[in-house]
């Protein structure tokens, strides 16, 4: 390989959500790009291979099974048991469809250079893959994260699953012990319960999904419990006594619990181990790359993007960071990472969707706000679709003569909440007035009418006696 072949405008390490966003744009824009991942099978990163895609495919199947069982209340009985092999086949097929346009051959045919192998830094602008050296003006580290390993006594006795192995499981465990009540734990836990396992979620915290408001997550907890999931809060697996028996501390008391399989979802850690970052003058603090607000490392020509940046760990957060890096590669006006308008969805049923600023952050910033809450109990669509339990919380800025009243953030728990909040996210991101929702004409009975109801109810509270008197006068004059 000549020196010319080894010189690139930009090298991107990691072909996941973040790395693909940066490299594909730079390639389309005519730059000489080298994209690196460990193997062809790992292109697409966690999202395609061990995360979003397989989990959402599994959730899709579990929803079908659950809905089919619910038909029992109308006299239709469902018989038979699930074939775990076919369930996983569906998951793999879904991944394969996406892999058709996310693989090394596809990218190379399009003219994008791809190197497969473990990358490490050998200099401030130099990367090594399979003993070959590559150089570039700019480097982006988008190496993602790995599941945190469970380290407790007796762990060597059990075979446990995490997100890197659960989607290869070839049977449905009778009793699945899920450790961790974050988004991954509750999504996978509910899916397996619906597929036929008996699921117990052991969670250290006071409530599941710690990034979302407790009032909202409690609704999900109740619904999951109704389906048979056991959720143990402020609890911890202390030790494994055997390959099928654990000691769990619940309310300060140790209880023994048997299980057939364990799924561990206790957090995710940046994947920087093999990168030899010191060669690139990149500082690392406690396993985390030191990053400035422009997503640059201590080597200003090397950026970080996605999970490895240590901010919010979502595919769309990685894409958001990719856009910031792309801006900063081309402009003297550097953009800072700002998560004020970020949103996230936990794809359980009901889904939990949050966006914008949470109440704690609004208070911290001393923004005057009003808390708007509504249940769905009187919403016609929720009545016919049987989800009167759903809830919506919004934070809106206080009425003010100078500024329009706008949505600062909020959360919803409802079936398909991730879709329902999209117009709220649009209003939040674009700092639209709450009147845009008030004035919108919604077809009856779309579920999104709840987004208008909460504003209408709020405005109705503003009908003071003085305003009522004025209305009475106007009515008498004009009629
Ligand atoms: C079970 C599960 C469900 C999830 N569901 C969702 C969801 O519904 N929505 C959502 O937004 N997010 C979800 N996520 C999170 C999402 O998957 C991640 O946030 C996203 O994949 C991060 O993208 P990334 O580009 O930072 O890293 P990744 O997608 O992990 O990509 C990193 C890539 O870098 C490669 N790599 C690492 N080190 C090296 C090296 N030294 N040399 C070469 N290559 C290297 C890896 O092989 C990998 O392909 C989920 C995660 C999990 C685990």
CB distance 184 to ligand 1 below 6 Å: yes
* Average of per-residue pLDDT values in the chain: 96
Confidence of residue 81 (pLDDT cuts 50, 70, 90): confident
Q: Would the CB of 342 count as within 6 Å of ligand 1?
A: no
Per-residue pLDDT at 5: 65
Residue 308 per-residue DSSP state: G
Listed residue (53, 30, 52, 50) closest to 41, CA to CA: 50
pLDDT higher than threshold 70 for residue 257:
yes
Is any atom of ligand 1 closer than 6 Å to the C-beta of 319? no
pLDDT tens figures, 434-458: 999 999 999 999 999 999 999 999 9
Closest ligand 1 atom to the C-alpha of 316?
11
**Is residue 191 over pLDDT 90?**
yes
- Write down the pLDDT at residue 274: 87
For residue 463, the model assigns a pLDDT of 85
Q: Ligand 1 in contact with 37 (CB < 6 A)? A: yes
pLDDT of residue 271: 83
Give yes or no for a contact between 124 and 300, defined as CB atoms under 8 angstroms apart: no
Q: What is the pLDDT of residues 162-184, one digit of tens each?
A: 999 999 999 999 999 999 999 99
Q: Single out the residue of 263, 113, 243, 251 nearest to residue 177, CA to CA.
A: 263
**Ligand 1 atom closest to 44 (CA):** 49
Tally helices (H) and strands (E) across the chain. Answer: 16, 24
pLDDT category at 261 given cuts 50, 70, 90 is: very high
- Nearest Cα residue to atom 33 of ligand 1: 14
Task: Tell me, using a 6 A CB cutoff, whether residue 182 lines ligand 1.
Answer: no
Q: Given ligand 1 and candidates 51, 289, 313, which is best to mutate, with the most ligand atoms within 8 Å of its CB?
A: 51
Q: For atom 38 of ligand 1, which residue has the closest CA?
A: 143
CA atoms within 13 A on the CB side of 89: 5
CA of 42 to the centre of ligand 1 (A): 10
Band (275; pLDDT cuts 50, 70, 90): very high
**Average of per-residue pLDDT across 247-255:** 94
Helix (H, G, I), strand (E, B) or coil at 164: coil
Average pLDDT over residues 95-117: 98
Reply yes or no on whether the pLDDT at 1 is more than 80. Answer: no
What residues contact 6, with CB distance under 8 A and at least 6 apart?
132, 133, 134, 135
315 lines ligand 1 (CB under 6 A): yes
Does ligand 1 come within 6 angstroms of the Cβ of 346?
A: no
Q: Which atom of ligand 1 is nearest to the CA of 313?
A: 19
How many alpha carbons fall within 13 Å on the CB side of residue 370?
16
pLDDT value of position 290? 97
* Atom 48 in ligand 1: residue holding the nearest Cα: 45
Q: How far apart are CA 413 and CA 219, in angstroms?
A: 7
The count of residues in the chain is 479
Q: Over the stretch 317-350, which tens digit does the pLDDT of each residue have? A: 999 999 999 999 999 999 999 999 999 999 999 9
pLDDT of residue 393: 98
pTM of the model: 0.96
CB-ligand 1 contact for 350 (6 Å cutoff): no
Q: Ligand 1: does its nearest atom lie under 6 Å from the Cβ of 263?
A: no
Q: Distance, CA 14 to ligand 1 centroid (Å)?
A: 9
C-beta 180 within 6 A of ligand 1: no
Ligand 1 atom with least separation from CA of 56: 8
Residue from 11, 14, 347 to probe ligand 1 pocket by mutation (most atoms less than 8 Å from CB): 14
Res 291: pLDDT: 97
Residue with tokens 């099978």: 41
User: Residue 2's pLDDT is what?
Assistant: 54
pLDDT given for residue 69 in this prediction: 92
Tokens of 235: 């609890």
With a 6 Å cutoff on the Cβ, whether 320 touches ligand 1 is no
Is 337 in contact with 324 (CB distance < 8 Å)? yes
- CA nearest ligand 1 atom 27, residue: 144
Angle at 106 between CA 103 and CA 110, to 5 degrees: 135
Per-residue pLDDT for 114 more than 90? Answer: yes
Can you spell out the DSSP letters for 76-104? ----S---HHHHHHHHHHHHHHHHTTSSH
45 CA to centre of ligand 1 in angstroms: 5
**In the prediction, which pLDDT does 4 show?**
54
Q: Is the pLDDT of residue 206 over 70?
A: yes
The rounded Å distance from CA 52 to ligand 1 centre is 9
Q: Which of 13, 17, 99, 166 for mutating ligand 1's site (highest number of atoms within 8 Å of CB)?
A: 17
């Amino acid at each position: 390989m000549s020196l010319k072949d080894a010189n690139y405008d930009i090298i991107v390490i990691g072909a996941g959500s973040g790395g693909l966003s940066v490299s594909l744009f730079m390639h389309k824009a005519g730059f000489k790009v080298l994209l690196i991942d460990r193997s062809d099978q790992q292109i697409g990163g966690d999202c395609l291979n061990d995360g979003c895609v397989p989990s959402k495919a599994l959730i899709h199947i579990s929803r079908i099974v659950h809905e089919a069982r619910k038909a029992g209340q109308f006299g239709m009985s469902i018989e038979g048991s699930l074939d775990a092999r076919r369930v996983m086949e569906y998951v793999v097929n879904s991944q394969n469809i996406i892999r058709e346009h996310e693989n090394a051959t596809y990218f190379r045919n399009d003219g994008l250079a791809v190197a497969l192998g473990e990358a490490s830094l050998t200099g401030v602008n130099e990367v090594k893959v399979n003993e070959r050296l590559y150089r570039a003006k700019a480097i982006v580290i988008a190496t993602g994260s790995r599941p945190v390993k469970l380290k407790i006594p007796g762990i060597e006795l059990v075979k446990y699953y995490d997100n890197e192995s659960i989607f290869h499981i070839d049977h449905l465990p009778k009793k699945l012990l899920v450790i961790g009540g974050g988004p991954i734990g509750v999504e996978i836990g509910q899916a397996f319960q619906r597929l036929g396992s008996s699921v117990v979620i052991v969670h250290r915290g006071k409530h599941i999904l710690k990034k979302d408001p407790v009032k909202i997550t409690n609704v999900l907890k109740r619904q999951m419990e109704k389906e048979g999931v056991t959720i143990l809060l402020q609890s911890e697996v202390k030790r494994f006594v055997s390959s099928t028996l654990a000691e769990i501390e619940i309310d300060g008391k140790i209880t023994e619990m048997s299980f057939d399989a364990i799924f561990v979802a206790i957090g995710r850690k940046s994947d920087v181990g093999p990168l030899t970052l010191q060669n690139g003058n990149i500082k690392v603090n406690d396993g985390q790359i030191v990053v400035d607000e422009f997503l640059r490392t201590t080597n200003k020509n090397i950026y970080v993007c996605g999970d490895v940046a240590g901010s919010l760990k979502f595919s769309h957060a990685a894409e958001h960071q990719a856009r910031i890096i792309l801006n900063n590669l081309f402009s003297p006006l550097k953009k800072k990472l700002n998560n004020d308008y970020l949103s996230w969805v936990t794809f359980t049923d009901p889904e939990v969707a949050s966006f914008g600023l949470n109440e704690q952050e609004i208070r911290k910033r001393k923004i005057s706000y009003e808390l708007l809450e509504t249940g769905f109990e009187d919403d016609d669509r929720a009545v016919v679709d049987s989800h009167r339990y759903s809830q919506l919380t919004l934070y809106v800025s206080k009425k003010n003569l100078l500024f329009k009243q706008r949505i600062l953030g909020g959360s919803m728990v409802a079936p398909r909440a991730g879709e329902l909040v999209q117009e709220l996210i649009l209003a939040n991101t674009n700092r639209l007035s709450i009147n845009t929702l008030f004035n919108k004409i919604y077809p009856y009975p779309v579920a999104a009418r709840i987004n208008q109801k909460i504003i209408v109810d709020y405005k109705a509270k503003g009908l003071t006696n003085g305003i009522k008197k004025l209305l009475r006068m106007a009515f008498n004059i004009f009629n």
